[in-house]
Every structure is written in structure tokens, then in C-alpha cells.
Amino acid sequence: MHTTVANPILWADVPDVSVIRVGSVYYMVSTSMHSMPGCPIMKSENLMHWELVGYVFDKLEDNDAHNLIDGKGIYGNGSWAASLRYREGMFYVAFSCNDMNRFYIYRTSNIEKGPWERSVIEGLHHDPSLLFDDDGRVYVIYGNGDIRIQELTDDASALREGGIDRLLFETERDGIGLRCEGCHAYKLNGYYYLFFIEWPSVGNRRRRQIVYRSRELLGPYERRIALDDDLGYRNNGVAQGGIVDTPAGDWYAALFQDRDAVGRLPCVVPMRWEDDWPVFGEAGQVPKTFEVPLPDSAPKPLVIGDEFDYTDNKLALNWQWNHNPDDSLWSVTERPGWLRLATGPIADRIERARNTLTQRTEGPTCAGETVLDATGMKPGDRAGLAALQSGFGTVGIWAGESGERRVAMCMRGEDGSEEIVESLPFACEVIRLKIDFDFRESADTAVFAYAAEGEGWKTIGRPLKMKYTLDHFMGYRIGLFNYATRQRGGFADFDYFRYAKGGPIHEME
């Protein structure tokens, strides 16, 4: 009974991972920011093959920013760095939301099906970790450089009146560009262990994993570097996360690594104990592959193709909307076998278009294609396929004022607008669209193509040089979109979304 772990375990944007084990099953939550539903829950039997099983919430808040109708949205905000914990039959997920200046705690007895009960505490708790102590008391430890601790009520639903609320300690400053953050807290072996990430501004200047430990909750704490390695990839450190054991008592760390435009990728690292200190890796390095004594299982796809053959108006879990959707403006049942996206609020570019339906992209290469029926589009409407990040690229149909249609490839202009790179007359109502993504060795390019029915692919525009930027703080996503620049009421129908991961980039004219 064994499984081969190959790092990264998922070559897709699954950042800020928090992993627990309940019995023989592992669960993981990660950051989802402006993608809805939010806080994805995945499960695994072996730490390598993960299955998406649900989300903590469908919508975090219902306001103009979260609904993407304020002209700005919540890009780079929303839910950050959730902490997943389990105690006595109850699962807890806690995180902060920068744009709301709030700390959220969700609870459920059924992590896969919910429902989740929500509590809100005013004020940010940056990169929090819940800590359930042996005496039943509950704490949240959080902060960036200045690490704080607050005591919560027994059910972790509110701050405990008169409970601990203080600065726990200050982390290193000298030679550090980004001080410690991303807390993961544990009580083990008679010690309190606090794991963090920090980013030195001297030396190799890459992110590294730090651990603090103390016999006493309030300190004093000792400090060590737990891991400083880049997995042989462009000096990008593998760090930020926590630890988890197996039923047999083996230990592993669940961390992540920046891989540029595709996003932040989760990794699993073997761990052992020496003198009650955690020691990560093999000779201080993250192994690219290693064996774990856990049952093998068939991998489940994180990104899927979809023929949109649904009996109920409910999408597969793999899809997420860019911000809160307007549920009155989409359907997979109105035209059976098709996804219909109707236009809502007027927008001037894809970044402000509501009801853009997205999935992650994956490395080393991947491609997504769709068929768009533009019959229902009104003058000024734009619909198609997008490579979505701040530096976006799109390919699709632009409906003209006089009913004419053009196929257009666009990129973000210097002023943020959706700038046409190339457009061509297109007389047909139905068009095939495709984007090829290449993330090999951070090539980070996307190539856009179209085809009339019965014809071969033709590239359009120029390759997009993708770049991970902090205003979105998310790896590139592929999305289906339709929005109005003139009037509401049009619609676009998508026959399918087909997806291919890995292998050669498709040949196109």
C-alpha cells in the first residue's frame, strides 16, 4: 500500500493551503478571493490525489463590490488564507476579508455537504490560524511580523469577553523584506508550534518556512528555519502551510510554491521530528517524487470539460464565477445542452463583466475551447473565451451597431481598456474559439484562435505574455463571458467547453 507523491501535487492555483486529517481522510481548504463559490474544500486519501467536494459559501457578501457592479470589484480581496480545523465532530474554517475588514468563522458537522454556520467578528485577523488547546480553550493567532493572539469562545463564534488579547511576539526584521505571516498553529508533543513564511531581502532572497515553538502558549518562543528550498524552480521558495500526520504516525508538510502566471501550486514535503523540532524535506530539499505509505487512488480532475447537459440549473463544482453571479442571467436548462449567458449591467471590458464563468488553468500546458452561438447577441455585445487576470486576453464575437459581427482578439490596453489587437469580419452565427496556454519554465504565453464550422483553426491577434500581478492575486483562469457595452437583453449560447491538459501545444494556422 503506497502512493507516489510528485511535486507539485496540483499544477494549478491552489494557494494558502490548510490541510487536516480526520480518520483516514485528508481535507484541504485554499484561498479563493473573488471567485465564487468560495473557499473550496478538497479531499484525499493519500495527499497526492485530491477531489473537489464543495465550498464553504456560495457568496460571502451581497454588495456592489462583491456583485461587480461598482466598477472596481473585489479583485485581490475576498477570502484570504483560510484556516481549516476539526474538533469533536465539528469542522471550522476561519479567514479574513480585506475589503470588508472582517474576520469570518464558519462551522459545520458535514464538511462535504454542509450547511455551514457563519459568524463574523469585526476587524482584520491577517492570515489567521485557529488553535484548539488541550484544555478546550480556543485561540486565533494572526499577524504579519507582529504576531497577535486572541481568545475565542468555546464554539469559536466570537471573541471571549475578558480573554487573552495581546501581542504574542515580534518576528525578525533585519534582512527581511516580508516578515512572518501565514500562521499555522498546533499543540503537539507538549509544545506550541507556530509555522510561518518569511521573505528575506538578503542572501538567496526567496521565501522560506519558519517555525517557532514554546512550552507555554504565551512564550517565550524559539525560532528556526524549517525549510529553504526552491524545488529546482527559478529560486521560488516552497513555503507557507502546515503539517499533518498519517494514521501510522508519519508526518508531512503541505506548502505551496509560486510558479508565476499559472499561480501558486501546492506541494507535499516529508517531515520528521528531531529533538521535538520539525525537520522538513530530504537533506533540506523538497523531493520531486517520493513514496507515502497510503492507499493509491485514481486522480480526479481539478479542471474539467463540460457539455452542459444538465437536468437542473446547477453547474459542476469545478466552475466558479468571477465575483457573485446574477443568477437570473444564466442558465443551462433554458436551451438544453447549452450554457446561456444573458447580458446585465453595462461594462466596458471583461474585467468588469458580471457572470464570467471560470476555471483554473493548469501547467505545464493546457487548452480550452468552446462553440459560441451569437444569434441572440445585441449591438455592442461582446462574448467569447478569456484568459483572465489583470493582464487579460480575449477572443470572441463583437456585435456591431448595424448587426454586423467581427471576430476579435483583445488585450488589456495601457489605460485598462479592452484593446483590439486584431478583428476580422465574421458572417456566421456560430464560431469555435480556443486558447492554448504554455506555462513550461514560466513561458507564460497564451495563443488565441477561432474557426468557422467545418474549417481549421486560425490564430488571431498575437500571443499574450501572461503575468501574475497582485491586483488580482490569482493565477490565470479561462472563462466564458458575455457582456453588453450598449444595452441589456442580449444573450450568448455556449454549446460546450472542452479542455485538454498537458501534451504538445495544438498546431494552428
Positions marked catalytic: 16, 181
The amino acid occupying position 356 is: T
How far apart (Å, rounded) are the C-alpha atoms in residues 34 and 322? Answer: 6
**Where do the DSSP E strands lie in 134-175?**
138-142, 146-152, 165-170
Question: What is the rounded distance in angstroms from the CA atom of residue 106 to the CA atom of residue 110?
Answer: 12
Q: C-alpha angle with apex 327: 322 to 329, nearest 5 degrees?
A: 90
Question: Is the peptide bond prior to 8 cis by the omega test (within 30 degrees of 0)?
Answer: yes
Please check whether residue 158 is in contact with residue 146, taking contact to mean a CB–CB distance below 8 angstroms.
Answer: no
CA atoms within 13 A on the CB side of 318: 19
Amino acid at 78: G
Beta bridge partners, 226, equal none
Residue 72 DSSP class: S
Q: What is the CA radius of gyration of the chain?
A: 23
DSSP, res 314: -
Quickly tell me which residue has 501545444 as its cell. 505
Distances (CA, A) of 359 to 102, 232, 282, 301, 340: 27, 28, 34, 12, 17
Beta bridge partners of residue 501, listed in sequence order: 366
Q: Are 27 and 251 in contact (CB under 8 A)?
A: no
Percent helix, percent strand, percent coil in the chain, to nearest 5: 0, 50, 50
**Cell numbers found for residue 339:** 450554457
Chain-centroid distance of CA 36 in Å reads 10
Which neighbouring-strand residues pair with 225? 210
> In Å, how far from its chain's centre is CA 181?
18
Do residues 253 and 227 lie in contact, with contact meaning Cβ atoms separated by under 8 Å?
yes
Burial zone of 144 (CB within 10 Å; 0-12 exposed, 13-18 middle, 19+ buried): middle
DSSP category for residue 33: B
Q: Which H or E run includes 61?
A: none
Task: Please give the DSSP secondary-structure letter assigned to residue 232.
Answer: T
Nearest to 130 by CA among 96, 94, 106: 94
Q: Which residue has the cell 479563493?
A: 32
